[in-house]
Structure 1
Amino acid sequence: MDCTKCDREAVMHAAYSGAHLCERHLFESVERRVRRRIREDDMLPDDATPEDPETWVIGLSGGKDSVVLTDIIEETFAEDPRVELVALTIHEGIEGYRDESLAACEQLTADRDVRHEVVTYADEFDVEMDDVVEDDPMDMAACAYCGVFRRDLLAKYAEAYDADKLLTGHNLDDEAETALMNILEGNVEQVAKHFDASLGPFDERTPKDEMIPRAKPLRDVPEKEVALYAQLRDLPVHMEECPHSSEAFRGEIQDLLLKLEENHPGTRHSIMAGYEELAGLAADQYSDEDADVGECEECGAPTTRDRCRKCALVEAVNAV
């Protein structure tokens, strides 16, 4: 099958648009959507200058999404002195798995000449995920521990590096899955937080405890297109799944979404279009302003409790 845009051989078919794309036009399509998202979200403010540049921290795991994001962002702003990039890799302490993905991160950042920082659960919390999974003091899925620890370190080090934005590699499938999960769980608070954290121009958002804004420039790109982009660009990617991954509900939602997309192309886009509108309405009704947000008595992180969730989990893990 020929490419819809030229006479080259197509490497993929986007059923939701009907387009067949060759390698070159796939690259252009993915990159265009990322750059459009950057513009539409006003990620680069008008007052950014070479003398006062923006610092963007990218959460780089070595997986396809974060690698593609880092590659496109670096290429887009390589000659723009208004943006400085820092790639942040978090080592959870998963033998073999994270070591291999760290090698991919090191190769990419060396090839692209991007500053690369690595922080570990062991150094920060005296915790390694292999031990957490073995002991499991709170009787929770591994992802429940790891998600709390990871979010804490991303926020902590984005602040330490004076970041103006924290970028993560969430793709369209990730976002649509999260949207369905929040709706099926009736989690209005998370719907409202999605709007505040991920949508709209940065300068129109209400700052929460001076948290660094997060951005998801890949959120308009389907997962398969991200994977194909990485493969055809021959990017250093670690493709293995985490051996402790056990998000059963998300897995069910993922299977459901894939089936819906296969039978009804465009489902993911429709979900997100409706969800973003719903999130805006939820944000109007739900506000954190009435919440009693203070500081964790141990680490100083924003929390509605005396101690934040991360400190509570670290204590439980280290008490075993």
Structure 2
Amino acid sequence: MRRRIREDGLVPRDATPEDPVTWLIGLSGGKDSVVLTQLLAETFAEDPRIELVALSIHEGIEGYRDESLDAAEALTDDLALRHETVSYSEEFGVRMDDVVEDDPENMAACAYCGVFRRDLLSRYADEYDADLLLTGHNLDDEAETALMNFFEGDVDQMAKHFDASLGPMPERSLTDKHVPRAKPLRDVPEKEVALYARLADLPAHITECPHAEEAYRGEIQELLYSMEEAHPGTRHSIMAGYEQLARYAAERVDTDDGAYDACDTCGAPTSGDRCRKCQLLSALAA
């Protein structure tokens, strides 16, 4: 993780104790975000150039999220780390359990949840004046995304992936519309993250969300698992090649056409009149 932070240039050279940078960590309480938070605290807790803030989101999933938030609270208490919690209920007036039951758009639960989660992470990164938003995506997550983009022939998405979180900071085409993201665990296999959490006795909630049902990603997971079993190192090879392809795509594809405007309803950056979050909330309220 520390090597990835160095190679991606995440710590600005002009950061000083007098003018520190703020890193917002997306802390769900699951193994990946817990391990990320623990390692970041061990590395930067005594570094006056970096201020760490953890943000947890309660989606409104009964019997699941409460336990993971307890884990997040236990970890941040132990690390003496600032920890903020927000919820879909307070922010949007919805709970994922109810969203899944209503499902006005006939979509997978993850599709709704992803839109709402990204909105809150981006909004609170702005509110806390964060310089960087860090998430616990591991090697498996990134390799799955790489294969999905490749199989779909989505060159634009490859370019956006590079500029959003994959590329080193000096090579990204950054926009002032969103706080830059980083994934320091993206070189670490999921099993190694889980093993570290167990050996370090971290309070991680290792249970799959009851609403998880991304069928296509599940197929990619199975393919990747079988390839890795037969050919160890497949995930790393995929990412090594994909990063180069994404870099070439980012150099040639204009991912920021200047068409961003403010959502008519909430003011968030969007390419249309209303952002996707507000469209979904309107459908749920209908």
TM over 0.5: yes
Quick one: distance in 1 between partners of 2:256 and 2:45?
39
* Distance verdict in 2 for CA 1:289–1:61, change over 3 Å: closer
Report SS of the residue matched to 1:65.
helix
C-alpha distance in 1 between matches for 2:262 and 2:96: 26
Counterpart residue number, 1:287? 254
**Structure 1: distance between partners of 2:264 and 2:200:** 47
Q: Which residue of 2 aligns with 1:31?
A: none
Match of 2:141 in 1: 174
Q: Which runs of 5+ in 2 are unaligned?
A: none
1:189-215 Cα shifts (integer Å, max 9, x gaps): 111111111233324422224311100
After TM superposition, the structure 1 = structure 2 runs for residues 1-320 of structure 1, keeping only pairs within 5 Å, are: 34-290=1-257, 292-319=259-286
Please state how far the C-alpha of 1:78 moved relative to its aligned partner: 1.6
TM-score between the two structures when normalised by the length of structure 1? 0.88
TM-score of the aligned structures, taking structure 2 as reference length: 0.98
SS of structure 1 residue aligned to 2:217: helix
* Distance in 2 separating the partners of 1:169 and 1:108: 15
Write the letter of the residue equivalent to 1:288.
T
Task: Say which is worse superposed, 198-207 or 268-277, in terms of deviation.
Answer: 198-207
Structure 1 pair 162–227 and aligned structure 2 pair: CA distance change class (3 A): same
Query: How many equivalent residue pairs?
Result: 286
**3-state secondary structure, aligned to 2:24:** strand
What is the CA distance between 1:291 and its match in structure 2?
A: 5.0
| Deviation string, structure 1 residues 145-171 (Cα, Å, up to 9, x no partner) | 000000000000011011000000000
Return closer, same or farther for 1:40/1:73 CA change in 2, 3 Å cut-off. same
CA deviation profile, 1:263-320 (whole Å, cap 9, x unmatched): 001100000011001101111221134352211111111111100000100111122x
Q: Determine if contact 1:58/1:87 at 8 Å carries over to the other structure.
A: yes
Partner Cα distance (1:257, 1:200) in 2 = 23
AA of the residue aligned to 2:129: D
CA distance in 2, matches of 1:260, 1:203: 33
Instruction: Write the deviation string for residues 220-259 of structure 1: whole angstroms up to 9, x where unpaired.
Output: 0000000000000000010111000000111110011011
What's the CA shift for 1:188? 1.4
1:295 touches 1:301 (CA, 8 Å); kept in 2?
A: yes
In the alignment, the residues of structure 2 paired with residue 201 and residue 221 of structure 1 have an alpha-carbon distance, to the nearest angstrom, of: 17
Instruction: Check whether the contact 1:127–1:318 (CA below 8 A) recurs between aligned residues.
Output: no
1:43-102 CA-partner distances (Å, limit 9, x unpaired): 111111111111000000000000000000000012111111100000000011000100
Q: Secondary structure at the residue paired with 1:89?
A: strand
Distance 1:167 1:300 in 2: 24
- Give the gaps of 5 or more residues in structure 1: 1-33
Greater shift in the superposed pair: 214-223 or 182-191: 182-191
Task: Tell me if structure 2 keeps the 8 A contact 1:209–1:302.
Answer: no
Identity of aligned residues (%): 71
